A and B are shown apart, each in its own frame.
Chain A
Amino acid sequence: MNTRELTYVKAFNEGMHQIMAEDPDVFLIGEDVAGYGGVFHMFDGLLTAYGDRRVKDTPIAEQAIIGVGVGAAARGLRPVCDLMFMDFIGVAMDQIFNQAAKMKYMFGGAVSVPLTITTAGGAGMSAAAQHSQSLEAWLAHIPGLKVAMPASPYDAKGLIVGAIRDDNPVIVVLNKKMLGVKGPVPEELYAIPLGVANVVQEGDDVTIVAIGRMVLEATKAAQALGEEGISAEVIDPRTVQPLDIDTIVTSAKKTNRVLIVHEAVQFGGIGAEISSQVQESAFDYLDAPVTRLAAPFAPVPYAPILENAYIPDAARIAAAARQLVERS
Chain B
Amino acid sequence: MAIEVLLPKLGLTMEEGTVDEWLVNDGDVISVGTPLLRLATDKIDVDVEAESEGIIARAVPNGTTLAPGSVLGWLLAPGEVAPGEVAPGGATAPAAPSAPGGETAPVALSGRQRVSPNARRVASELGIDVASLRGSGPGGRVVSEDVEESARVQATKVTSPLARRDAIQAGIDVNEVPTDTGYVTRKDVREAISGHGVATPAPSSLAIIPPGQESSSIIPMKGMRGTIAARMVQSLTEMAQLTHGFEVCMDAVVELRGTLKEQYHDFGLQVPSLNDFVVRATALALRKHPILNATITGREIHLLRRIHMGMAVAVPGGLMVPVIRDADTLSIFDLARATRELAESCRAGSISLDALEGGSFAVTSLGTYGVDFFTPVINPGNVGILGVGRLRDSGRWDEERFVKTQVLTLSLTFDHRAVDGAPAAEFLQTIAELLARPLVLLPGA
Contact = CB atoms under 8 A, between A and B. Distances in A.
Nearest to B160: A328
B136 A285 contact: no
A287 B137 contact: yes
Contacts of B137: 287-288, 326-328
B138 A285 contact: no
Nearest to A279: B117
B118 A285 contact: yes
Contacts of A285: 117-118, 121
Interface string A268-307: 0000000000000001111110000000000000000000
B138 A284 contact: no
B169 to A, nearest CB: 10
B165 interface: yes
A241 interface: no
A287 B161 contact: no
A288 B141 CA distance: 9
A327 B141 CA distance: 9
Contact of A283 (B117, B119, B141, B143): B117
Contacts of B121: 284-285
Nearest to B137: A327
A231 interface: no
A283 B145 CA distance: 16
A98 interface: no
A256 B162 CA distance: 23
Contacts of A286: 116-118
Contacts of B119: 287
B120 interface: yes
B413 interface: no
Contacts of B116: 256, 286-288
A256 B137 CA distance: 12
Contacts of A250: none
B144 interface: yes
A130 interface: no
A323 interface: yes
Contacts of B141: 287-288
B430 to A, nearest CB: 46
B118 A287 contact: yes
A324 to B, nearest CB: 8
Interface residues of A, number: 12
B136 A327 contact: yes
A283 B141 CA distance: 15
Interface in B124-140: 136-138, 140
Given A256-B144, A287-B143, A287-B144, A328 B136 contact: yes
B304 to A, nearest CB: 30
Given A256-B144, A287-B143, A323 B118 contact: no
B117 A327 contact: no
A256 B119 CA distance: 10
A interface: dominant SS = loop
Contacts of A328: 51, 136-138, 140, 161-162, 165
B175 to A, nearest CB: 15
A327 B139 CA distance: 9
A225 B143 CA distance: 20
B151 to A, nearest CB: 15
Nearest to A324: B138
Contacts of A284: 117-118, 120-121
A70 to B, nearest CB: 46
Nearest to B124: A284
Interface string A301-328: 0000000000000000000000110111
B136 A256 contact: no
Contacts of A323: 138
Contacts of A287: 116-119, 137, 141, 143-145
A31 to B, nearest CB: 49
Nearest to B139: A328
Contacts of A326: 137-138
Nearest to A252: B118
A26 B328 CA distance: 80
Contacts of B120: 284
A284 B144 CA distance: 11
Nearest to B138: A326
Nearest to A326: B138
Contacts of B138: 288, 323-324, 326, 328
A288 B136 CA distance: 12
A288 B161 contact: no
Interface in A136-174: none
Interface string B164-194: 0100000000000000000000000000000
A222 to B, nearest CB: 20
Nearest to B147: A287
**Chain B CB within 10 A, most for which of A256, A284, A287, A326:** A287
Contact of A327 (B51, B118, B145): B145
A69 to B, nearest CB: 46
Contacts of B118: 256, 284-287
A286 B117 CA distance: 6
Interface centre among A324, A326, A327 (most CB of B within 10 A): A327
Contacts of A256: 116, 118, 143-144
Interface in B258-292: none
B74 to A, nearest CB: 15
Contacts of B117: 283-287
Nearest to A256: B118
A106 B162 CA distance: 63
A248 to B, nearest CB: 16
A323 B138 CA distance: 7
The 9 closest A-B pairs by CB, nearest first: A287-B116, A327-B136, A287-B143, A284-B121, A328-B161, A287-B118, A256-B118, A284-B117, A285-B118
Interface of A: 256, 283-288, 323-324, 326-328
Given A256-B118, A287-B117, 9 more contacts: A256-B116, A256-B143, A256-B144, A286-B116, A327-B137, A327-B161, A328-B137, A328-B161, A328-B165
26 contacts: A256-B116, A256-B143, A283-B117, A284-B117, A284-B118, A284-B121, A285-B117, A285-B121, A286-B116, A286-B117, A287-B117, A287-B118, A287-B137, A287-B144, A287-B145, A288-B137, A288-B138, A323-B138, A324-B138, A326-B138, A327-B136, A327-B161, A328-B51, A328-B137, A328-B138, A328-B162
